[in-house]
Amino acid sequence: MTITQTTTPAQVLVKFSYAYIQFHEATNLFEMVFTSKMNETEFIAVNKALLDEFRKKQSNRLLVNALNMGVISTGGQKWVVENLVPGMISHLKGRNLYHAQIIPEKDVFGKFAAKNIEDRASKVPGMVMIAFSNAKEGMDWLLQQPDR
């Protein structure tokens, strides 16, 4: 299991058998880590939980570690683009959402699914999404983005 290492302590907000969501108070940053593969229903469930938690905070930074996730179904990809992204953007009231995805460098199907989401989500005004192959690069990039 790969767990994102960060320099700030984080509070785990929601935990599933295949993923968890945590919040880094000191850096005002959400982090969702997928610890194993899941089906479409499970993928949507963790993303619904993320949206619920996101609406409780004023953060506009999100790190998603998908190194252990596997392939995202087209239905899951569609749900993220049509529900999660607009829900997060509307909560921010005009501020940008900075989203770093951590995806396996050699997983062709995972990269394709992530690129599909990135391409579709980047068309949403206020969405800034970049893919990285390791968590440190993604976290470093996020910490350079405005947090309010």
pLDDT, tens digit (0-9, with 9 covering 90-100), for 115-137: 667 777 677 788 888 889 889 99
With 80 as the cut, is the pLDDT of residue 94 above it? yes
With 90 as the cut, is the pLDDT of residue 3 above it? no
For residue 124, the tally of other CB atoms under 10 A from its CB is 14
Instruction: Characterize the bridge pairing of strands 29-34 and 97-102.
Output: unpaired
- pLDDT at position 110: 64
- pLDDT at position 2: 38
Position with higher pLDDT, 67 vs 15: 15
Query: What's this model's pTM, rounded to 2 decimal places?
Result: 0.86
- pLDDT at position 112: 66
**22: its two tokens:** 């945590």
User: Which residues are CB-neighbours of 8 under 8 A, at least 6 positions away?
Assistant: 24, 25, 26, 27, 29
- pLDDT at position 9: 80
- pLDDT at position 111: 64
45, containing H or E segment: helix 40-54
Please compute the mean of the pLDDT values over residues 74-89 and round it to a whole number: 91
**13: its two tokens:** 């907000």
